[in-house]
């Protein structure tokens, strides 16, 4: 659900600013199948299923099919491109706020409350992770404001850069991401 809403938010904001590309490709929808990446989403579902069956040491990672955006359709490509990129992580934050309001202010069965707390955590983690200013993540669009398009796309398309990013995230940023996510989850649920 979070992945579909995240990708839908990108498509919705792009369409709002004049780019109908995602709409024309059937991506302006909440249907999860429209946002299913044959590799990234499948890996995510398999890893989550294995974790549910007791293999809790496995990492949970994956991705949705990126929403196609043609920034040439925007009046202000850099600014509107940034806003489209930020729409995904902000949708995760809004979902976390909605779930937190339910946990805090509605009397829920214990199991449903626990599921919602996990959904809050997952959405906040997705938000923080996607806001990292590293290509190809959504937060990297901030970098585009301060560098040429050629430099940005050279970085984003380099396999060496991608492997370096993976190394940095797993070895240096995973702890701060988990701590920030845990802190904000606790804050939102009133813990």
pLDDT of residue 159: 73
pLDDT of residue 54: 72
Question: Tens of pLDDT along 133-164?
Answer: 887 789 888 888 888 888 887 877 777 777 77
Question: What residues does each domain of the chain span?
Answer: 2-189
* Nearest of 118, 100, 127, 109 to residue 187 by alpha carbon: 100
Statement: residue 12 has pLDDT above 90:
yes
* Residue of 7, 25, 75, 150 marked active site: 7
pLDDT of residue 1: 84
Based on its alpha-carbon atoms, the radius of gyration of the chain, rounded to whole angstroms, reads 17
Place of tokens 């190394």: 167
Is the pTM here over 0.85, yes or no?
yes
**Cβ distance 80 to 33 under 8 Å?**
no
7 is catalytic: yes
d(CA 11, CA 20): 8
């Amino acid at each position: 659900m979070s992945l579909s809403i995240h990708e839908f938010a990108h498509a919705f904001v792009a369409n709002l600013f004049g780019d109908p590309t995602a709409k024309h490709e059937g991506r302006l929808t909440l249907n999860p199948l429209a946002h299913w990446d044959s590799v990234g989403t499948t890996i995510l579902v398999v890893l989550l299923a294995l974790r549910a069956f007791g293999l809790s040491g496995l990492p949970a990672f994956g991705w949705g099919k990126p929403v196609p955006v043609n920034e040439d359709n925007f009046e202000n490509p850099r600014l509107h491109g940034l806003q489209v990129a930020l729409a995904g992580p902000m949708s995760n934050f809004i979902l976390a706020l909605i779930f937190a309001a339910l946990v805090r202010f509605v009397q829920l069965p214990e199991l449903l409350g626990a599921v919602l707390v996990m959904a809050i955590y997952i959405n906040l983690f997705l938000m923080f992770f996607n806001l990292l200013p590293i290509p190809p993540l959504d937060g990297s669009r901030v970098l585009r404001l301060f560098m040429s398009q050629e430099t940005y796309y050279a970085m984003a398309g380099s396999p060496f850069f991608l492997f370096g990013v993976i190394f940095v995230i797993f070895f240096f940023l995973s702890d701060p991401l988990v701590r920030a996510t845990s802190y904000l989850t606790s804050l939102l649920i009133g813990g």
